[in-house]
């Protein structure tokens, strides 16, 4: 851990590249004086974006990378073939210790695979889960694994619980985080083979505050600080959340256009509704980190804006300050190695 925060931003990842990642990096540099940013990607196009912008030149550098990994490319193949991509070059900087963190809004699968293969898992960590902060009626909670490792085994979910708990404690400052298992019932014997076995294993852990199963229906209302699940389930939870809020809001808005009365009402409630919508924006928290790596890797939503990139970069500074990476490594240092 260096005194300064060295963050790589993949300038060619996501739908709004390179404009938004570059803008976001500059915004973050202005907000945090101890930060330095490295942008990876086609240097001349990055310089074009930067021209006319006011930023601390001594804390921003560019590492040229000529290839771009696009949406839909097979994750493993993309990492292996495009060695000169903004993504691979950026992750290599973390691997070589030239940066502390890497942020990308690019191909999710490539970021997840690249993070585990190039940045590498910490000793003792079997799988590196994606940890996404989601809003709920209490504030927010951590959903882990929200999409990295499908078909994980019970012992992997136990590691997710330990890592998620450390994250909420040390990064989000939650005292004794309540850890729950996402399930389709409350009783210990509810669910599928995976949840039943995981429940038993989690009950035995003394290093986490396991509070039992959390019914999926209750996730939006709250009740836990860390929600543990297998990645397919986690991604279904995340996407149903996002999709339901989006569609429900659209339908409400359409409903408000049905009469003059409701149109006037709609205008009056607009400011209040806007606040509510903001509170339920699944993407408001910037990026989701892959937990359990030797360096820090953060995945941003594909259509992330400059504001989101800025938040993600500043979030990295918080991660590095909290030494969450070191805490997780030490938690698993004594566990046996796995593929």
First-last CA distance in the chain: 27
Give least dist CB 83 to its own copies, A.
23
E strand intervals along 42-126 = 60-64, 101-104
Give least dist CB 152 to its own copies, A.
10
Q: Should residue 232 be labelled a site residue for its own copies when binding is judged by CB under 8 A?
A: yes
Query: What residues have CB less than 8 Å from 110, skipping those under 6 apart?
Result: 69, 73, 75, 78, 79, 87
Q: Should residue 220 be labelled a site residue for its own copies when binding is judged by CB under 8 A?
A: yes
Give least dist CB 20 to its own copies, A.
21
Q: Specify the residue, 172 or 245, whose C-beta has the smaller distance to its own copies.
A: 245
Cα separation, 293 vs 88, whole angstroms:
16
Cα separation, 79 vs 246, whole angstroms:
33
Token pair belonging to 197: 């076995």
Q: Should residue 241 be labelled a site residue for its own copies when binding is judged by CB under 8 A?
A: yes
> Restricting to residues 44-103, which ones interact with its own copies according to CB under 8 A?
72, 74
CB 12 within 8 A of CB 25: no
Of 13-21, 54-62, 81-89, 143-151, the window that binds its own copies (rule: CB under 8 A) is: 143-151
- Burial (CB count within 10 angstroms: exposed 0-12, middle 13-18, buried 19+), residue 2: exposed
Give least dist CB 250 to its own copies, A.
7
Q: Specify the residue, 1 or 252, whose C-beta has the smaller distance to its own copies.
A: 252
Q: Should residue 339 be labelled a site residue for its own copies when binding is judged by CB under 8 A?
A: no
CB 50 within 8 A of CB 306: no
Q: Should residue 267 be labelled a site residue for its own copies when binding is judged by CB under 8 A?
A: yes
- Kindly tell me which residue out of 200, 276, 281, 303 binds its own copies, with binding defined by CB under 8 A: 276
E strand intervals along 130-199 = 131-136, 139-144, 178-183
Q: Specify the residue, 92 or 149, whose C-beta has the smaller distance to its own copies.
A: 149
* Site of interaction with its own copies (CB under 8 A): 72, 74, 136-137, 147, 150-151, 182, 184, 187, 189, 191-193, 195, 215-221, 232-233, 235-237, 239-248, 250-252, 255-256, 258-259, 261-262, 264-273, 275-276, 279-280
């Amino acid at each position: 851990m260096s005194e300064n925060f060295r963050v790589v931003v993949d300038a060619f990842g996501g739908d709004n590249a390179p404009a938004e990642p570059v803008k976001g990096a500059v915004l973050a540099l202005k907000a945090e004086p101890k930060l330095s940013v490295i942008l990876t990607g086609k240097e001349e196009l990055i310089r074009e974006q930067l021209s006319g912008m006011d930023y601390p030149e001594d804390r921003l550098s560019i590492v040229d990378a000529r290839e771009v990994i696009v949406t839909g490319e097979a994750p493993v193949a993309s990492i292996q073939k495009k060695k000169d991509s903004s993504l691979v070059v950026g992750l290599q900087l973390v691997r070589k210790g030239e940066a502390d963190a890497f942020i990308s809004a690019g191909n999710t699968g490539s970021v997840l695979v690249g993070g585990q293969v190039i940045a590498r898992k910490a000793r003792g960590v079997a799988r590196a889960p994606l940890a996404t902060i989601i809003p709920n009626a209490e504030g927010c909670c951590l959903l882990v694994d929200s999409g990295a490792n499908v078909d994980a085994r019970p012992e992997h979910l136990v590691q997710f619980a330990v890592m998620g708990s450390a994250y909420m404690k040390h990064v989000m400052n939650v005292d004794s985080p309540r850890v729950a298992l996402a399930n389709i019932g409350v009783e210990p014997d509810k669910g599928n083979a995976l949840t039943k076995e995981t429940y038993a294993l989690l009950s035995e852990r003394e290093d986490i505050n396991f509070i039992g199963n959390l019914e999926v229906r209750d996730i939006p209302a709250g009740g836990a600080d860390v929600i543990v699940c297998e990645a397919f389930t986690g991604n279904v939870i995340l996407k149903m959340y996002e999709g339901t809020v989006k569609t429900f809001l659209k339908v409400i808005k359409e409903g408000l256009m049905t009469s003059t009365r409701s149109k006037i009402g709609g205008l009056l409630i607009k400011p209040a509704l806007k606040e509510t919508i903001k509170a339920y924006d699944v993407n408001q928290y910037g990026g989701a980190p892959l937990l359990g790596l030797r360096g820090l890797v953060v995945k941003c939503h594909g259509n992330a804006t400059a504001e989101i990139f800025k938040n993600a970069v500043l979030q990295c500074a918080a991660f590095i300050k909290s030494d969450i990476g070191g805490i997780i490594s030490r938690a698993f240092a004594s566990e046996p190695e796995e593929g």
